[in-house]
Amino acid sequence: MSRRHDTVYCATAYRVADGAHRFTIRIGERCAAVDALLAQHGADEWAYITAHNPGGRHADADANAAAQARLEAALRARARPVLCGVGAGDDGRWAPEPSLLVLGLPRAEAVELARSFGQEAIVAGRRGAPAELVYCDA
């Protein structure tokens, strides 16, 4: 994928399903549930990130699972609130990708982390603002 394929990212539901928290984030839209979580945790920004399928290329299940476990460990080390979810394309051409909503993670740090896992882009936002597609290239 490349910037010419923004529509692929924009045609994806970034779902959170963790405990009592169940909601969907969409690029270009505000998400009241995320805003409430940010307020609850005293944070102003968030990032939605995965380690699956680096570079927009299908990776095998074992490689994806191992990368996702490393991402989760890296986020635990940062001591930020994390909720589990999946990114699912509206067209169903890709299997849903396990992903993580991280509260209070500064955008630059999220981009750097995603880049270290070979990711092309993340979804990020600030309290009260719509979700944004953020590319990880330098």
Strands of 7-81, DSSP E:
12-18, 21-25, 45-49
Query: Are 63 and 41 a contacting pair, CB within 8 Å?
Result: no
DSSP 13: E
Per-residue pLDDT band for 138 (boundaries 50, 70, 90) equals low
Query: Closest Cα to residue 71, out of 99, 40, 96?
Result: 99
DSSP code, position 27? B
- Per the CB < 8 A criterion, the answer to whether 134 and 107 are in contact is yes
The reported pLDDT for the residue numbered 5 is 60
Task: Give the span between the Cα atoms of 32 and 130, in whole angstroms.
Answer: 10
Percent of all residues in the chain with a pLDDT value above 90, rounded to a whole number: 84
pTM for this entry = 0.93
Q: How many domains does the chain have?
A: 1
Mean pLDDT of the chain: 93
> Is the Cβ–Cβ distance between 125 and 34 less than 8 Å?
yes
Could you tell me the residue range of the domain that residue 77 belongs to? 3-135
**pLDDT digits 0-9 by tens, 49-107:** 999 999 888 899 999 999 999 999 999 999 999 999 999 999 988 889 999 999 999 99
Cβ neighbours of residue 68 closer than 8 Å, sequence gap 6 or more = 50, 51, 52, 98
SS3 93: coil
| Dist CA 20 CA 54 (whole Å) | 30
